[in-house]
Chain A
Amino acid sequence: MRRSPRVGVWLPPLAPSIFLLGLFVAGPILWCFYASFTNSALSGIAARRPKFVGLDNFTTAFTSPDVAASLWLTVVFVVLSAVVGQNSLGMLLAVFLQHRGKLLRGIVGTVVVAAWVLPEVVAAFAIYAFLNAQGTLNEVLGWFGLSQNWLYTAPMMAVVLANIWRGTAFSMLVYQAALSEVPSDLVEAAQVDGAGPVRRFWHVVLPVIRRTVVTNLMLITLQTLGVFGLIYVLTAGGPDNKTRTLPLLMYEQAFKFGQIGYGTAIALVLLVLGAVFSLVYIRSLKAEV
């Protein structure tokens, strides 16, 4: 790596990014920050003359049982579907597929990736049809007398499974590539020493790809935090708000009730939650180095 001597060298290539990110991402986020201190609304008198309300929106948010409940649901959703589900299943698939035949690799890989490349609405509706009372899953479970309305009896499990189904491909692809870069002599040496497959994975492979694991966790966590359409089509946040994560609560407040100020305050809570998760991951990386 070179030290950068002149701004003329490093700035021009960065300029388009800085310009686009500043204009279309940072700017609007700063506006949200400002709006969260006002009673800005989509309609009504506050739309014409938004007033500065200080920390009111945040006070409301932090004392509201709705926000607390949604925050908790968001954490549950992210931990179960991304950190545990997508990450572990993706790793498992990558490891299991490593030395399989081309055919099996092709079939499993394509099927898992298909769920990932599906547009969100299509994926959501397909899963809705699958889990619905009259859906495919119940047709099958009905043979064993196990059918039930999953979206009602186990809504959080349903959206978690849906997100695992949809997002596992990303982790799988990441880990497939990472595993292919693990030096094979290391693994063979461990095998000669008599280590079984589990021990080899745990003590040889995992340490080598550790950084990839942590970074993958960070990316899928951030992606999962913002999941909206999938849950919206499946349960719309219900029943009884059991799946109303922060993005759904934010949408409800900002667009259904037009409370832009309050809605953006909730969005900022989400932003902070993402930063907290990321910092935990970054810290765990630093501790190692």
Chain B
Amino acid sequence: MRGPRLVVNLVLLAVAVLFVAPLLWLLTASFDTHGSLAAKVPGDFTLANFGQILNWEVGGRPLVNGLLISGGTAIIAVIVAVLAAYPLSRFQLRFRRPFLYTILFTTGLPVTAIMVPVYGLFVRLSLVDSLLGTTVFLAATALPMAIWMCKNFMDGIPVSLEEAAWVDGASSLQALRSIVLPLMAPGVAVVGIFTFITAWGNFFVPFVLLLDPDKMPASVGIFSFFGQNGLVAYGQLAAYSILYTTPVLALYLVVSRWLGGGFSMAGAVKA
């Protein structure tokens, strides 16, 4: 058994190296005065790149806006999806399958495709330039995946547990809150993180739906490091990328530790 075991370990290490290689550049360039496109030990080590972005205007406010939008999106999506998942999982509804598949199909459509009518809608509802409106819209676009995952997590929790509560006279909602939710907490965390990450990286939606530059999240702010006709400030771009990535990475690490190592995704994708 030694031989195969060694091979497997080598394969895993090789994959790890391949996966980490593109990220090295971010680290080296961010500490280099003359950052270029290749990853190399900084010839001229500096913290200036970080110094230039660590202020409220560049690094602070966009990050806070991003946290508000993405955090809000995740919270709204999780609450709404859990509620929707309950009847879909627990009751024999005739439209269940068509409903689930229809909403799932819509996720194949890039959100850019619907931005024109959405903008018109936002104007009509006076939601343009509203952080809350943008957040709710992002939550709505995240719902198909969130409902789908929540429903499958819930399917994994035996109904027998709730039946006892029903006998005691609890309502469906009470049963959901006191029995089902605690059991599917890991699943809820997965859905929340997934939604947060997707919203965190979204450029086009906040770019179109918000007007005030002071409301723009980091996903829009990062474009200020791509020059149109000039040089990209590689060092600052790399430093900003690291700053911009830290919250999602931290969120993932905290939640996965809390869940005890691995993410439990299986429940999310059983048909």
Contacts and interface: CB of A to CB of B under 8 A. Distances in A.
Interface stretch (A55-63, A187-195, A235-243, A249-257): A249-257
A144 interface: no
Nearest to A216: B269
A174 B268 contact: yes
Contacts of A278: 101, 104-105, 108
A194 B20 CA distance: 38
Contact of A177 (B80, B90, B262): B262
Interface centre among B23, B201, B222, by most A CB within 10 Å?
B23
B248 A117 contact: yes
Contacts of A43: none
Nearest to B7: A96
B137 A13 contact: no
B230 interface: no
B21 A4 contact: no
B172 interface: yes
Contact of A113 (B87, B144, B252): B252
Contacts of A14: 83-84, 87-88
Contact of A28 (B84, B117, B249): B117
Interface string A104-124: 110111111111111111100
Contact of B110 (A24, A96, A247): A247
A153 B21 CA distance: 21
**Secondary structure at chain A's binding surface: helix, strand, loop or mixed?**
helix
A127 B245 CA distance: 15
A273 interface: yes
Contacts of B264: 177
Of the four ranges (under 10, 10 to 19, 20 to 34, 35 or more), the interface on chain B belongs to 35 or more
Given A2-B159, A4-B93, A14-B88, 5 more contacts: A16-B84, A21-B103, A32-B113, A97-B12, A229-B203
Contacts of B118: 24, 28
Instruction: Please report whether the interface of chain B is mostly helix, strand, loop or mixed according to DSSP.
Output: helix
Given A27-B117, A117-B197, A271 B105 contact: yes
Interface string B169-192: 000110000000000000000000
A228 B105 contact: no
Contact of A126 (B8, B23, B223): B23
B219 interface: yes
Interface in B110-129: 110-114, 116-118, 120-121
Contacts, number: 289
B75 to A, nearest CB: 13
Contacts of A218: 104
Interface of A: 1-4, 9-11, 13-14, 16-17, 20-21, 23-29, 31-32, 35, 42, 89, 92-93, 96-97, 100, 102, 104-105, 107-122, 125-127, 129-130, 132, 134-139, 165, 170, 173-174, 176-178, 180-181, 197, 211-212, 214-216, 218-219, 221-223, 225-229, 247, 250-251, 254-255, 260, 263-264, 267, 270-271, 273-275, 277-278, 282, 285
Given A13-B86, A121-B201, A114 B249 contact: yes
Given A125-B237, A129-B37, A35 B203 contact: no
A137 B249 CA distance: 25
B114 A28 contact: yes
B26 interface: yes
B147 A17 contact: yes
Contacts of B106: 25-26, 29, 271
Interface string B75-105: 0000011011011101111000000010111
B39 A212 contact: no
Nearest to B200: A119
B136 interface: yes
B164 interface: no
B222 A119 contact: yes
Contacts of B203: 120-121, 229
